[in-house]
Amino acid sequence: EAAVTQSPRNKVAVTGGKVTLSCNQTNNHNNMYWYRQDTGHGLRLIHYSYGAGSTEKGDIPDGYKASRPSQENFSLILELATPSQTSVYFCASGGGGGSNERLFFGHGTKLSVL
């Protein structure tokens, strides 16, 4: 079974601080995604990547940066964290679109910005 590992599982940050959320996949998938999910709502796409060195903006990229230094790793960076970024963040990896876009999700990172 494909594996996606997120770290940390929980994070408390201060307003204005820098936060880095990490994601590692051992599936050799080209595509990786970062979503956030607020209580009682669906997932919203922040950034995604086609492969090492590429990052693309999703639907809500403002306030976030992404980095894909290798096939396995995809990071989400909050340079200046704000309380509105308190949420649960999910990373996912997938094959390549269409008939092969089954995504595998991590367990999520709960971020609280105080």
Partner 1 sequence: DAKTTQPDSMESTEGETVHLPCSHATISGNEYIYWYRQVPLQGPEYVTHGLQQNTTNSMAFLAIASDRKSSTLILTHVSLRDAAVYHCILIQNQGGSAKLIFGEGTKLTVSS
Q: Which of 60, 97, 112, 114 binds partner 1 (CB under 8 A)?
A: 97
Residues contacting residue 98 through CB under 8 Å, at least 6 positions apart = none
Return the number of the residue (14 or 62) whose C-beta is nearest partner 1. 62
The sheet with strand 4-7 has its strands ordered as: 4-7, 19-25, 73-78, 65-67
Q: Which of 49, 71, 75, 85 binds partner 1 (CB under 8 A)?
A: 49
Taking the CA atoms of residue 70, residue 102, residue 48 and residue 69 in that order, the dihedral angle to the nearest 10 degrees is 0
Binding part of the chain for partner 1, among 14-22, 37-45, 62-70, 79-87 by CB under 8 A, reads: 37-45
Phi, psi for residue 98 in degrees, rounded to 5: 55, -115
Q: Which residues bind partner 1 (CB under 8 A)?
A: 4, 30-31, 33, 35, 41-45, 48-50, 56, 58-59, 90, 92, 94, 96-99, 101-108
